[in-house]
A and B are shown apart, each in its own frame.
Chain A
Amino acid sequence: MSVITVERKVLEKNDQIAQKNREKFKSKNLFVMNFVSSPGSGKTSIIEKTIEHSQGKIKFGIIEGDVQTSLDAERVNKFNVPVVQIVTNGGCHLEANLVRDAYQNIENEDFEVLIIENVGNLVCPSNYDLGEDIKVVILSTTEGDDKPLKYPAMFRNASVLIINKIDLIPYVNCNLDEMKKNALSINPNLKIFEVSCKTNQGIDEWINWISERVKH
């Protein structure tokens, strides 16, 4: 019997491609956000509101990831921004090579912020670097205030937490202070926004934050 020392990261291939993506995005002066959340928390709605309320002051490009259908890309398409859909056909997360290939379809378009909407899933996407600047985790008030404790890896790796559906607080069993406390106990550096895509609460503050990060 012999032992061969390997000492390699299992996802090194993905990490290498992600690093190349990151270099490419940097060379184009793009600010890149990877949106992650469970299904139905409002990722696409936040993208719609973000584009609509920025009133053309920030130029966005969008990569939509879904298990099936191009419904999300169709929703975003009406704003006349560069958008490309990735269908993973059952895959529970996006990988760096999928993002690299999708980006080629829009790389000659004029935009300064790229939003990658990951597949709705709070577990698997946390392992896969796509080459983004930051991960933005979206959590809605209907999901309960204990979610950050249940999915610590995702909240630990994110830079921003958007709490969506804030207008539903009076009707759901969610303690907002508890939710924020739980999130900050996993990651004290999280920047938290409270928004509602229904009433537009908090959307402008979120857009201002993005505009401060646009790399002119």
Chain B
Amino acid sequence: MHELSIAQEILSIVKASLPAPNSKVISIKLKIGQLSGVLVDSLKFSFEAITSQTEFENSQLDIIEVPVKIKCNNCSKVSIISEPIFVCPECDSFNVELLEGRELEIVEIEIEDNLEEI
């Protein structure tokens, strides 16, 4: 259950990235890799819990789940694998490197425009 501390980190980075402290956040776009060890449902639940009755109450988490992508060092083929076995589906080599799948990143934040400034 480290999703709660991850939700807190997300919130603190979002707060630090806002152009003004009262900016209204519509959504937060996250990239979460399948190998990141983060359970998406649990993260959403944690985020809801810590933002309840705050200015972020209606902010949504927009999550892009990133599959595990490997590159074979033997035949150079790039593949997406669904099983957690790091073997090249093309040539069966175990000599593969992980290209994607460990992501745990905040990509962007969508905010409401401040009408008074327009």
Q: Give A residues with C-beta under 8 Å from B.
A: 1-13, 91-93, 95, 123-124, 126-128, 149, 152-153, 156, 184-188
Contact between A11 and B98, CB atoms less than 8 A apart: no
Contact between B35 and A156, CB atoms less than 8 A apart: yes
Interface residues of B in 61-114 (CB under 8 A from A): 84-87, 94-95, 98, 102, 104-113
The listed residue (B18, B85, B104) touching A4 by CB distance below 8 A is: B18
- Contact (A185, B87) CB under 8 Å given A3-B108, A6-B109, A11-B9: yes
Q: What are the residues of chain B within 8 A of A126 when measuring CB–CB? A: 37
The listed residue (A8, A9, A10, A188) touching B95 by CB distance below 8 A is: A188
B40 within 8 A of A: no
The listed residue (A4, A10, A124, A127) touching B10 by CB distance below 8 A is: A10
How distant is the Cα of A95 from the Cα of B55 in the complex, in angstroms? 28
Contact between A6 and B17, CB atoms less than 8 A apart: yes
- Contact flags B1-17 to A (C-beta < 8 A → 1, else 0): 11001100110011001
- Contact (A93, B2) CB under 8 Å given A7-B107, A124-B37, A149-B84: yes
Q: What are the residues of chain B within 8 A of A8 when measuring CB–CB? A: 13, 17, 105-106
How close is B46's CB to chain A, nearest CB, in angstroms? 12
Interface of A is mostly: mixed
The listed residue (A6, A11, A156) touching B6 by CB distance below 8 A is: A11
Q: What are the residues of chain B within 8 A of A7 when measuring CB–CB? A: 105-108
Q: What are the residues of chain A within 8 A of B107 when measuring CB–CB? A: 5-7
- Contact (A153, B35) CB under 8 Å given A9-B104, A184-B94: yes
Contact between B86 and A10, CB atoms less than 8 A apart: no
How close is B106's CB to chain A, nearest CB, in angstroms? 4
Please name 19 further chain A to chain B contacts, defined as beta carbons within 8 Å, in addition to the given A91-B5, A153-B102, sorted by A numbering.
A2-B110, A3-B109, A3-B110, A3-B111, A4-B111, A6-B14, A6-B17, A6-B107, A6-B108, A8-B13, A9-B104, A9-B106, A10-B105, A124-B1, A149-B84, A185-B87, A185-B94, A186-B84, A186-B85
Contact between A13 and B113, CB atoms less than 8 A apart: no
Q: What are the residues of chain A within 8 A of B17 when measuring CB–CB? A: 4, 6, 8
The listed residue (B86, B87, B104, B106) touching A156 by CB distance below 8 A is: B86
How distant is the Cα of A156 from the Cα of B101 in the complex, in angstroms? 12
How close is A3's CB to chain B, nearest CB, in angstroms? 5
Contact between B35 and A152, CB atoms less than 8 A apart: yes
B36 within 8 A of A: yes
How close is B85's CB to chain A, nearest CB, in angstroms? 5
The listed residue (A3, A10, A92) touching B104 by CB distance below 8 A is: A10
How distant is the Cα of A33 from the Cα of B17 in the complex, in angstroms? 35
